[in-house]
A = this chain, B = another copy of it.
Amino acid sequence: MFVQQAIAILDSGVGGLTVVKEVMRQLPREKIIYFGDTARTPYGPRSSEEVLLFTQQIVEYLIQFQPKMIVIACNTATAVALEQIRAMVNVPVVGVIHPGARAAINATETGFVGVIGTEGTIRSGAYVQALREISPHIEVVSEACPKFVPLVEKGMFSDEVTWKTVKESLEHLRYKPIDCLILGCTHYPFLMEPIAEVMGPNVKLISSADETAREISTILYQYGQLAKVDDLPVHQFFCSGEPKIFQQIAQEWLREHLETAPVVWQVPNFL
List the interface of chain A (C-beta within 8 A of B): 26-29, 92, 94, 98-99, 102-103, 105-106, 133-137, 210, 213-215, 217-219, 221-222, 226, 230
Contact B219 A105 (CB under 8 A): no
Contacts of A29 in B (CB 8 A): 134, 136
Contact B26 A217 (CB under 8 A): no
Contact A226 B134 (CB under 8 A): yes
Bound Cα distance from A26 to B133, whole angstroms: 11
State the number of copies, please: 2
* Contacts A106-B214, A210-B106 given; does A135 touch B28 at CB 8 Å: yes
Partner of A99, one of B105, B137, B213, B218: B218
Partner of A222, one of B92, B106, B136: B92
Contacts of A105 in B (CB 8 A): 26, 217
Contacts of A210 in B (CB 8 A): 106
| Pairs A-B, 6 closest by C-beta atoms | A218-B218, A215-B218, A102-B217, A106-B214, A26-B105, A98-B221
Partner of A26, one of B94, B102, B213: B102
Contacts of A133 in B (CB 8 A): 226
Chain B: minimal CB distance from A94 (Å): 8
A228's nearest neighbour on chain B, judged by CB, is: B133
Chain B: minimal CB distance from A256 (Å): 12
Bound Cα distance from A222 to B86, whole angstroms: 10
Contacts of A226 in B (CB 8 A): 133-134
Contacts of A221 in B (CB 8 A): 98, 102
A219's nearest neighbour on chain B, judged by CB, is: B222
Chain B: minimal CB distance from A228 (Å): 8
Contact A218 B92 (CB under 8 A): no
A105's nearest neighbour on chain B, judged by CB, is: B26
* Contacts A215-B218, A219-B219 given; does A26 touch B99 at CB 8 Å: no
Which of A106, A133, A219 gathers most chain B CB within 10 Å? Answer: A106
A222's nearest neighbour on chain B, judged by CB, is: B219
A210's nearest neighbour on chain B, judged by CB, is: B106
